[in-house]
């Protein structure tokens, strides 16, 4: 379970996943922990939602391989607008196996699919602990 001391209704998470069932599951878990969650099915939709927000997005949780725009390009564009946004990438590959990881984009965390609930919640807690 997500640590209640680390969660806050004032923290906003943008979840980007092209698999609708996974996206819904991540959203349900995060909302149950008190986070404000925005979800998108691809990078272009995520950019539109991000720029349409009146509140700060604290964390991007994104799949890497998606139609329209991959997770790395999305992270790069969001960081151009908000360099402080935390980035948690998800992939079926381990980071050392992924040959398309751009060195210019700082990634704060990596989750390898299939993602266990414990790993997911631990990663979110670690990235959102403290001021964001």
Task: Read off the CATH number of the domain in which 25 is found.
Answer: 3.40.50.2300
Q: Tens of pLDDT along 33-77?
A: 889 999 999 999 999 999 998 889 999 999 998 888 889 899 999
DSSP code string of 56-78: ---EEEEESS-SSS-HHHHHHHH
Q: Once rounded to an integer, what is the mean pLDDT over residues 7-12? A: 68
- DSSP helix/strand/coil, 8: coil
Residue 3 within a domain: no
Please say if the pLDDT value at position 88 is more than 80.
yes
pTM for the complete prediction? 0.86
Residue 17 belongs to what domain range? 12-128
What is the total count of domains within the chain? Answer: 1
Q: Are 90 and 72 within 8 A, CB to CB?
A: no
Residue 65 within a domain: yes
Residue 38 within a domain: yes
Please say if the pLDDT value at position 129 is more than 90.
no
């Amino acid at each position: 379970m997500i640590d209640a001391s680390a969660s806050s209704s004032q923290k906003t998470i943008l979840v980007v996943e092209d698999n609708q069932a996974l996206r819904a599951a991540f959203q349900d878990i995060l909302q149950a922990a008190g986070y404000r969650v925005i979800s998108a099915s691809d990078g272009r939709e995520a950019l539109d939602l991000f720029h349409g927000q009146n509140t700060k997005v604290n964390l991007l949780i994104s799949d890497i391989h998606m139609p329209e725009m991959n997770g790395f390009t999305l992270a790069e564009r969001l960081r151009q607008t908000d360099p402080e946004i935390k980035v948690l990438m998800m992939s079926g590959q381990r980071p050392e196996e992924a040959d398309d990881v751009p060195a210019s984009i700082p990634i704060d965390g990596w989750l390898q699919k299939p993602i266990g609930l414990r790993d997911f919640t631990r990663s979110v807690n670690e990235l959102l602990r403290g001021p964001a």
